[in-house]
Amino acid sequence: MITWVFACFGVWSRWTGIHDPSGAVIQMAVMGAWTIVASIGYSRHWGRRNTRLAFADLIVTVGCMYLTLLAQPLLDIRAGASVLTSVWAAGPVIALAISRGRDGGLLGAAAISLALLSLRGVDNAAKILSNVQLLLVAGIVVGYAATTMRRATFRLREAIAAESATAERLRLSRSIHDGVLQVLAQVQRRGTAIGGEAVELAALAAEQEVALRTLMATRAATGDRGRIDLCMLLLPLATPRIDVVVPAEQVLLPTAVATELVAAVKEALSNVDKHAGPDARCWVVVEDLGGEVLLSVRDDGAGTTPDQLDKSGHLGVSQSIRGRIADLGGSVTVRTAPGEGTEWEMKVSRP
């Protein structure tokens, strides 16, 4: 609205020099009508979120620039007469920069500059250079600022949501720790001491205790740029026989890489169930080495020899683990001996 008033003031101040004043009045009327439409549209949610209005604004603005021909002949414009849209023509540049970022601002600036050049003529390109520069700078700066603000707002919302979830989890954890976990631990101890059928009840209580502790320890699994926290994918694998040890900080990896690593760990745990013995315990450990991630799966089961590991009973698991890690460009090391358990060590580079 302000730039339209400024354009009207420019027409009034040049009134005696305008070839056809009625054409200028028509041009200002069209610009005023579109200013109302655009102002109402941009004040609504659909207008701000839908870039079609910004592109329509660009097309109408270019058309209004050419409406100057109703008031001034082309020869007069190229001889130095003003294009009556004045600074009003910068509106769609700002709108596209806000809605589409830097690229949208550049597109809008280029379209307005080309329209201005076609009216002024190539011979007058040097005279409009400052206007073109201002349009380009406005499009780039506003576009960059709008994109940065959107990203900052998104991350702020994520941080607030994570903080709220953490506070609620801590509150529930205190209640669970003071009540449910203590009861489950007591049931586990008493059931084991009583023996008989109570042993099964103790085992179920132990499983639920581990599941609750895992739930209490969970945190946001997703990160930015399509990455996910490997630790949060591995923690649900914990059972009374399986301990999962992870760093305090997130270990963010591309989703496809993290998914393949979890699948490899599950294969290794399946191997423990089949071959390590019914009483074997297992430890899954994640280490963040900066440029690499080290993942080890170790059990204290019966163990075997490296040659036996590659034979029938273990072949499928071995090939599955090695194949998955090899596809990720990583390496696998296996350490095993009779009576000393088995340890799978998987190392992948962080992209």
- The C-alpha atoms of residue 309 and residue 299 are separated, in whole angstroms, by 14
101 and 237 together in one domain: no
Q: Which one-letter amino acid corresponds to residue 276?
A: A
148 and 243 together in one domain: no
pLDDT in single tens digits along all 351 residues of the chain: 999 999 999 999 988 888 999 999 999 999 999 999 999 998 888 887 778 899 999 999 999 999 999 998 998 888 888 888 988 999 999 999 998 889 999 999 999 999 999 988 888 778 788 888 999 999 999 999 999 998 899 888 888 887 887 777 677 666 666 667 677 777 877 887 888 777 778 777 777 777 666 666 655 555 556 788 888 888 888 887 888 888 888 888 988 899 899 989 988 888 887 777 777 889 999 999 988 999 999 988 877 776 666 664 555 566 778 888 888 899 988 888 888 888 889 999 987
15 and 148 together in one domain: yes
Instruction: Using alpha carbons, list the distances in angstroms from residue 109 to 35, 83, 142, 164.
Output: 19, 16, 12, 43
User: Which is nearest to 89 in space by CA: 35, 44, 39, 140?
Assistant: 35
246 and 333 together in one domain: yes
Q: Is residue 11 part of a domain?
A: yes
Q: Is residue 207 part of a domain?
A: no
Q: Is residue 174 part of a domain?
A: no
- Whether 133 contacts 144, CB under 8 Å: no
| Number of compact structural domains in the chain | 2
- The C-alpha atoms of residue 295 and residue 242 are separated, in whole angstroms, by 15
How far the first Cα of the chain sits from its last, in Å, is: 50
Cβ-in-10-Å burial (0-12, 13-18, 19+) of 245 comes to middle
Instruction: Using alpha carbons, list the distances in angstroms from residue 83 to 30, 76, 87, 226.
Output: 15, 10, 10, 48
DSSP state of 84: T
Q: Is residue 305 part of a domain?
A: yes
Q: Which one-letter amino acid corresponds to residue 209?
A: E
- The C-alpha atoms of residue 66 and residue 85 are separated, in whole angstroms, by 9
CATH at residue 288:
3.30.565.10
- The C-alpha atoms of residue 239 and residue 234 are separated, in whole angstroms, by 11
- Whether 261 contacts 348, CB under 8 Å: yes
138 and 250 together in one domain: no
- The C-alpha atoms of residue 49 and residue 333 are separated, in whole angstroms, by 52
3-state SS of the chain: helix, strand, coil percent to 5? 70, 10, 20
Q: Is residue 246 part of a domain?
A: yes
- The C-alpha atoms of residue 115 and residue 259 are separated, in whole angstroms, by 52
**What beta strand segments (E) does 110-269 contain?**
227-229, 242-245, 252-254
Q: State which residues form the domain around 103.
A: 2-155
Q: Is residue 110 part of a domain?
A: yes
- The C-alpha atoms of residue 268 and residue 294 are separated, in whole angstroms, by 15
Q: Is residue 184 part of a domain?
A: no
SS3 154: helix
One DSSP character per residue, 16-46 reads: GG-S-HHHHHHHHHHHHHHHHHHHHHHTSHH
One DSSP character per residue, 84-124 reads: TTGGGGGHHHHHHHHHHHHHHHHHHHHHHHHHHHHHH-GGG
What's the pTM value of the predicted model, to 2 decimals? 0.53
* pLDDT confidence of residue 337: 84
142 and 26 together in one domain: yes
Q: Dump pLDDT digits (tens) for 72-99.
A: 899 888 888 888 898 899 999 999 999 8
* Boundary residue ending a domain (124, 155, 186): 155
* pLDDT confidence of residue 219: 57
* Boundary residue ending a domain (98, 126, 155): 155
Q: What is the distance of C-alpha 241 from the center of its chain? A: 36
